[in-house]
């Protein structure tokens, strides 16, 4: 085992801090969590061993990962939450429909869903590696058997353990065959919660037998498949440990994960800045508790300097064992050895040039994204009739109009209905729809509902009167069509209110390509983007 002579550098190597994917300090979108460049340089010089990135364009991310690597004298773990393709976080790469769409397809066509899940992993790993990332923080292994889950929801690969286990194993194979680490999360299972751990500490009251039946099978399958890392969940399991949440619990991390499930890879905490942890423990104490419980890496401590100092103090006092931390550092080293490394460590790699993805995904990945959109779409009814009334309206429901990367002014959800004669109107969940203003006129109404679970925002569409609206509009013969983007649970709850012939679509994806495809299928397309290749099939 390779030892680290300097205790401070050993400790620092077990921290993963957050940075913007954008190059300049002034571009940071979340300065509360994203360190400025001077702080990043100091932390990396101190020996911090990893960076999680968020935001920016794919081409700029390649420059950013090079920059970060140049500020460190050791190989870095460079990761991102790209559960839905690299384009979910970095514009210009492939943005894929959320995994729950494949979970639903698995119920209809398991072989096709497994093949697509493996391709999903390959696409994500290939693009991550091309941009300098060597660690994908996915797949979500949570079984989303609670439709009201505010934070997992469509991020999960399904709602029953066997299907989720098969799909996450396929995804892991795809990612890691591209020389990029995968991460099974959130252990031991965040699917059956109604609380967002970004905001508070969820409680999962299940006993071990229930966990073995529902929550643990996907993690067992991921471990058997050789997943490189496992991320902890910020939730309390009182039947296992009534005192400490899973992230800080030796019962969960050492006994259950290490000993019972036999996991020998990297254990990383979920972000310690999340309120489930940060409101209960200081930055230093949370980091010490996590390592004491059996974690190897501390993700996003609220204050990295405090975390380093507290861990060193715990070493000096004997609370933490230096051998344990050296074992964690060795697991980190072994994980890095599994990756293909930086594709361009010292100059231009002719096979992976800087310009990769500057013109968007490869033709192969565009074709895959197109197929994935088509295969996960559900369509019923006919085509939307062109309105003859000038009072026709297209109501678009979103969570927050100012935080919708999928809804620019020229997005298909706005442009396509407008060209057909529907006046667009955007509503958000803070401004509940008014029947008098939005639905009480005499014209036809096209409803487009963008709904999915969102971290920090809770469960979307709770208590909103869409079933009542639809029933009223159908009775008045004024509902022109319905499109639900995201949540299959809202779709399931509304489709029973629709006449069979009424044009309606569920799309798990919300991005512009998903909008264009969904609206094309009910007869409202303009020019179909080249990325969709035309020729849509069920």
Query: Does the pLDDT value for residue 264 go beyond 80?
Result: yes
- Categorize the per-residue pLDDT at 535 as very low, low, confident or very high, splitting at 50, 70 and 90: very low
CATH number, domain of 231, equals 3.20.20.300
Which residues are known catalytic residues?
198, 270
Is there a single domain that holds both residue 308 and residue 448? no
Specify if 91 maps to a domain. no
Same domain, yes or no: 382 and 272 = no
Strand pairing partners for 266? 229
Residue 436 pLDDT greater than 80, yes or no: no
Of 125-134, 346-355, 360-369, 529-538, least confident by mean pLDDT is 529-538
- Residue 72: inside a domain, yes or no? no
**253/113 same-domain check:** yes
Domains: count for the chain: 2
Q: What is the CATH number of the domain that holds 467?
A: 3.40.50.10870
Clarify whether residues 393 and 289 are in a common domain.
no
First-last CA distance in the chain? 54
**203 has a pLDDT exceeding 90:** no
Across the range 242-265, mean pLDDT stands at: 97
Instruction: Check whether residue 431 and residue 314 sit in a common domain.
Output: no
pLDDT digit string (tens) for 473-501? Answer: 999 999 999 999 999 999 999 999 999 99
pLDDT of residue 204: 86
d(CA 481, CA 498): 9
Same domain for 224 and 164, yes or no, is yes
Q: Same structural domain for residues 294 and 422?
A: no
Which pLDDT value is given to residue 462? 63
Q: How confident is the model at residue 195 (pLDDT cuts 50, 70, 90)?
A: low
Of the chain, the percentage scoring pLDDT greater than 90 comes to: 74
SS (H, E, C) 384-440: CCCCCCCCCEEEEEECCHHHCCCCCCCCHHHHHHHHHCCEEEEEECCCCCCHHHHHC
Residues 176 and 235 in one domain: yes
Mean pLDDT value of segment 81-91: 95
- Same domain (yes/no): 415, 521: yes
Q: What is the pLDDT of residue 529?
A: 44
Asked whether residue 1 is domain-assigned, the answer is: no
Mean pLDDT of 13-23: 96
Among the three residues 338, 355, 386, which one is the final residue of a domain in this structure? Answer: 338
Is-cis flag, bond preceding 186, omega within 30?
Answer: yes
pLDDT bucket at 278, cuts 50 / 70 / 90: confident
Is 150 within a domain?
yes
Range of the domain at 477: 377-532
For residue 355, pLDDT over 80 is answered with no
Nearest to 244 by CA among 283, 196, 286: 286
pLDDT digits (tens, 9 = 90+) for 403-412: 788 899 899 9
Same domain, 334 and 387: no
Is 206 within a domain?
yes
Shared domain for 186 and 324, answered yes or no, is yes
Q: What is the pLDDT of residue 192?
A: 77
pLDDT of residue 219: 98
Does residue 264 sit in the same domain as residue 383? no
Cα(501)–Cα(498) distance, integer angstroms: 8
pLDDT of residue 198: 62
Helix (H, G, I), strand (E, B) or coil at 285: helix
Residue 27 inside a domain? The answer is: no
Structure confidence at residue 454 (pLDDT): 56
Burial class (CB in 10 A: 0-12, 13-18, 19+), 95: buried
β-strand partners of 53: 19
Whether 19 is covered by a domain: the verdict is no
> Band of the pLDDT at 384, cuts 50, 70, 90?
very high
Residue 225 scores a pLDDT above 90: yes
462 lies in some domain? yes
């Amino acid at each position: 085992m390779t030892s680290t002579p300097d205790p401070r550098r050993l400790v620092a190597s077990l921290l993963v801090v957050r940075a913007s994917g954008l190059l300049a300090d002034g571009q940071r979108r979340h300065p509360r969590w994203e360190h400025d460049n001077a702080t990043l340089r100091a932390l990396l010089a101190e020996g911090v061993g990893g960076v999680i990135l968020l935001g920016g364009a794919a081409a700029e991310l390649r420059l950013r990962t090079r920059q970060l690597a140049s500020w460190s004298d050791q190989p870095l773990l460079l990761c991102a939450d790209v559960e839905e393709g690299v384009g979910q976080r970095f514009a210009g790469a492939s943005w894929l429909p959320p995994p729950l769409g494949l979970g639903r397809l698995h119920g209809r066509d398991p072989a096709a869903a497994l093949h697509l899940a493996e391709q999903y992993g390959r696409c994500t790993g290939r693009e991550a590696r091309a941009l300098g990332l060597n660690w994908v923080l996915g797949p979500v292994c949570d079984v989303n058997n609670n439709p009201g889950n505010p934070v997992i929801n469509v991020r999960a690969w399904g709602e029953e353990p066997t299907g989720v286990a098969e799909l996450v194993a396929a995804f892991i194979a795809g990612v890691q065959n591209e020389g990029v680490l995968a991460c099974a999360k959130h252990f031991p299972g965040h699917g059956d919660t109604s609380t967002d751990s970004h905001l508070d500490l969820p409680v999962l009251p299940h006993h071990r037998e229930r966990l073995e039946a529902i929550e643990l099978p996907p993690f067992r399958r991921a471990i058997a498949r050789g997943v490189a890392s496992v991320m902890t969940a910020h939730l309390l399991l009182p039947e296992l440990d009534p005192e400490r949440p899973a992230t800080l619990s030796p019962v969960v991390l050492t006994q259950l994960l290490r000993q019972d499930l036999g996991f020998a890879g990297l254990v990383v905490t979920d972000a310690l800045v999340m309120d489930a942890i940060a409101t209960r423990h200081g930055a230093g104490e949370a980091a010490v508790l996590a390592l004491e419980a059996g974690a190897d890496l501390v993700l996003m401590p609220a204050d990295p300097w405090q975390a380093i100092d507290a861990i060193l103090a715990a070493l000096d006092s004997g609370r933490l064992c230096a051998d344990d931390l050296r074992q964690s550092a060795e697991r980190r080293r072994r994980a890095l050895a599994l990756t293909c490394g930086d594709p361009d460590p010292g100059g231009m790699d002719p096979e992976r040039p800087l310009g990769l993805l500057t013109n968007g995904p490869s033709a192969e990945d565009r074709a895959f994204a197109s197929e994935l959109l088509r295969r996960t779409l559900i369509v019923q009814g006919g085509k939307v009739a062109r309105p003859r009334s000038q009072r026709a309206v297209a109501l678009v429901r979103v969570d927050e109009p100012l935080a919708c990367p999928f809804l620019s002014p020229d997005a298909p959800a706005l442009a396509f209905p407008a060209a057909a004669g529907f006046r667009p109107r955007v509503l958000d969940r803070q401004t509940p729809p008014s029947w008098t203003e939005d639905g009480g006129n005499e014209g036809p109404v096209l409803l487009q509902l963008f709904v999915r679970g969102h971290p920090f925002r809770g469960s979307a569409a709770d208590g909103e009167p869409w079933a009542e609206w639809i029933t009223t509009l159908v009775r008045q013969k004024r509902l022109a069509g319905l499109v639900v983007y995201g949540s299959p649970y809202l779709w399931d709850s509304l489709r029973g209110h629709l006449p069979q012939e009424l044009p309606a679509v569920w799309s798990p994806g919300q991005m512009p390509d998903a909008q264009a495809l969904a609206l094309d299928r009910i007869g409202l397309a303009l020019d179909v983007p080249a990325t969709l290749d035309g020729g849509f099939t069920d």
